[in-house]
Structure 1
Amino acid sequence: MDGYRTLLIWSIILCLTQDYGSCANILDGPQNVTVLTGSNATFLCTVASGWRSISWYLKNVFIVTITPSETTVSPGYTIVTQNSTNSITGAFTTEITIVNVNKSNSGTVQCSSFSASFQEAYLSVQVKGSVQITGGNVIVTPNSTVSLTCRAEQWYPAPSITWQINNTLADTIYYSTSYTTDANDFVTALSSFRINPETDLSLTCLATVQTLPQPQSSTVNITVREQSPGGKGKERAAIRVMRGKPQRSLTTMYGPSIETVWDIVTSRTLPSQNQKGKVMATMMATPLTLDLPQQAPVYRFLEIDG
């Protein structure tokens, strides 16, 4: 039998056999409290006059005992107590504040005045996790489909996920959200968002729980650019590279003003067709930046100085 029930039984026996004053009725018990991890949780319990001892328990474990002469706090807890007595009725109110609560503190909170009954409430501790839209900013051509994923990790309980388009709440038809729970009851949310933008816009993913004053958020920008001349995914451009320099990568201008680094995957020299020692070559390159509309290899033409 656990210590709490043993103590309660002995208290009832003492109440019934020695002094009914120790069995003062609880007039107003503690109320449920929901707080964010790292916050303080406060509970009140009021008993009728004539009380001799009041005890508090968290998850059936003793944490505080109050008598007219002293207050005892169990080791391992940081608890602030404050007591008051009604000058007219003699009712006694004890207030305890559990400091810096964490998720493991969630559970029942009980107030007992050594009577056959006790009053209990529930402490619920919520956890703020992280939120991030993967992939970062995006550059697309008009009416391209953009798919983004928002990942909210280490929340408790499951966070509410919403999206905003240009700081305006987005309709739920644009996104869907799934949840998974790990062995420690922490929740991860994955929200997938799809849109076909015609103009530049910002997308914001927001995650929140009841006790969070402001949602956690992550924002990316979608930039819409007309496709450069040259075709769909196989654009042509004259790129000058000095002979003898390492040709692991090169920098070009994508569209009117977007500087892009390309990784040269393969290259093949064509028969010389230029004068003054210049050689035409072809290569296949892959964009290293993540914000380009084409992620597949792209063929480009290379001009090497002779």
Structure 2
Amino acid sequence: MERFQKFILLPLILTASLPGLAFCYSIINGPTNATVLAGSEARFNCTVSEGWVILIWLSNGSPVLTVSSSQGPFETSDRFTSQNYTSSSGFTSELIIHNTQLSDSGKIECSVQGADSKFAFLSVQVNGSLSIKNSTLTVKENETIEIFCEALGWAPAPDITWMTNDSFIDKSKYVTQQSQGSNGLYDALSILTLTLTDTEILTCLADIEALPNPQNASVTCIFVNSTLEKSQLRRIQMVI
């Protein structure tokens, strides 16, 4: 509460020291939407025309950083800092959110006294774990197998697909179940059902928007046909 009051009082105190001020400026460019992985940085820019006095950054309605044209930024948290740029087009304040957390997701707003505010949305996502229980599996001829791929601790729930060698497997071949825990993170279990005719590498891929590339886990399925099994059996009998 004390921190919030400081943010509210600061613009009022600074404005009070500028009698006769006429508001004749505007926000030229507001922040744009961003999607980042938890633990990384998120950056938002807000450009205002000349004549501005107080600029306030808000996260989900709560002020997190104030910038004064005469005194610069007032930073009260190591997680919310700023960089400032001045050009012929105006003044740009860049809000930097460090070590982003799920709770940071939501509305990021640039507010300038005497001008309309501009806002964008931040989506913080979590890259969880992905695993297939077995790294290799022996498959017999005409045998139907089930491969289980487990994704734990994701946000949002990952999009799961399967590949065999270098080709995507039809979605009708697998089913994926999702659940959300009390911590807001998602778990998913994808079950692939196949009947193989050759040795293949099966890969499970999990993807969310913030990942540059999907996370993956693979299993090598070694195919053994009945002819090979009979040949191996005869060799064993001959040795005996």
What is the TM-score with the length of structure 2 in the denominator?
0.83
- What do the CA deviations read for 1:238-271 (whole angstroms, capped 9, x no partner)? xxxxxxxxxxxxxxxx9699xxxxxxxxxxxxxx
Q: Which residue of 2 aligns with 1:65?
A: 66
Which protein has greater RCO, CA pairs closer than 8 Å, 6+ apart?
2
Q: Which residue of 2 aligns with 1:29?
A: 30
Q: Which residue of 2 aligns with 1:213?
A: 212
> Is residue 77 of structure 1 aligned with residue 76 of structure 2?
no
> Is residue 51 of structure 1 aligned with residue 52 of structure 2?
yes
- What do the CA deviations read for 1:115-142 (whole angstroms, capped 9, x no partner)? 3642211111111111111244211211
Distance 1:256 1:74 in 2: 79
Q: Which residue of 2 aligns with 1:169?
A: 168
> Is residue 128 of structure 1 aligned with residue 130 of structure 2?
no
| Structure 1 residue ranges without an equivalent (≥5) | 230-253, 258-306
Distance 1:218 1:110 in 2: 39
Q: Which residue of 2 aligns with 1:182?
A: 181
One-letter code of the match for 2:42? A
Distance 1:116 1:255 in 2: 85
Q: Bigger shift: 121-130 or 73-82?
A: 73-82
Q: State the identity as a percent.
A: 32
One-letter code of the match for 1:101? T
Q: Which residue of 2 aligns with 1:96?
A: 95
Distance 2:176 2:105 in 1: 27
More helix by share: 2
Shift of 1:76: 4.3
Rate the CA distance shift 1:165–1:183 in 2: closer, same or farther, 3 A.
same
CA RMSD of aligned residues (A): 3.0
Distance 1:199 1:29 in 2: 56
Shift of 1:18: 4.4
What is the TM-score with the length of structure 1 in the denominator?
0.66
Q: Which residue of 1 aligns with 2:41?
A: 40
Q: Which residue of 1 aligns with 2:104?
A: 105
Shift of 1:223: 0.9
Rate the CA distance shift 1:147–1:82 in 2: closer, same or farther, 3 A.
same
Shift of 1:100: 2.7
Q: Which residue of 2 aligns with 1:249?
A: none
C-alpha contact (below 8 Å) 1:24/1:113 kept by paired residues: no
Distance 1:73 1:179 in 2: 40
Distance 1:49 1:165 in 2: 59
Distance 1:185 1:161 in 2: 19
Q: Which residue of 2 aligns with 1:232?
A: none
Distance 2:20 2:115 in 1: 14
Q: Which protein shows a greater Rg?
A: 1
One-letter code of the match for 1:191? S
Shift of 1:44: 1.0
Distance 1:23 1:174 in 2: 62
Shift of 1:7: 2.8
1:137-176 maps to which residues of 2 (within 5 A)?
A: 137-176=136-175
One-letter code of the match for 1:193? L
Shift of 1:23: 6.8
1:1-16 maps to which residues of 2 (within 5 A)?
A: 3=4, 7=8, 11=12
- SS of residue paired to 2:40: coil
Rate the CA distance shift 1:56–1:23 in 2: closer, same or farther, 3 A.
farther
